[in-house]
Amino acid sequence: MPIGRCLHSQPESTPEGDAMSLNNNVIRGLESDEKSVSPITLALRELQPNQRRRKQKDFEAHYDEIAALIEHGVSLKDLRLALATGGLSMSAATFKKKFETERKRRSRTNQTDEVCGGKPPNSTNDGIGAP
């Protein structure tokens, strides 16, 4: 039995979605103000996510394929070689750590989906008192 209650009345919000919305608003503002671009603004526009974050996102994007190949008996060494060929090189220990971290993250997400119909549980609101 779940500890908290599901918040079906509140809109679903994710940090990624909020960041995307913020980035889109910033970009729209920058595009409308092209004539008054400072050197600082130009430098900020050239920034990219760090390599660690890009690798993590790439690994997350291909996790399902990786997990399926492992289930079919493909060796971890061959998987790492294929990932390295695609630009995602890492040590065996790092591969195992990333794989386990992503597996656990997805397991928690699936449990939340099953318990609350895809909504995050609210452990502070037990239905007693004011909403």
pLDDT value of residue 79? 94
Name residue 5's beta-bridge partners: 122
Q: What is the mean pLDDT of residues 52-58?
A: 88
Strand segments, DSSP code E, in the chain are 5-6, 121-122
Number of other CB atoms surrounding residue 55 within 10 Å: 18
Between CA 67 and CA 73 the distance in angstroms is: 10
Cβ count within 10 A of residue 2: 13
What local confidence, expressed as pLDDT, does residue 21 receive?
Answer: 55
The torsion angles phi and psi of 27, rounded to 5 degrees, stand at: -65, -45
Residue 47 is predicted with a pLDDT of 87
The pLDDT value given to residue 98: 92
- Residue 93's pLDDT is 95
With 70 as the cut, is the pLDDT of residue 20 above it?
no
CA distance 32 to 36: 10
Longest dimension (CA), the chain: 59
Q: How confident is the model at residue 34 (pLDDT cuts 50, 70, 90)?
A: low
| pLDDT tens sequence across 69-120 | 999 999 999 999 999 999 899 999 999 999 999 999 999 887 776 666 555 5
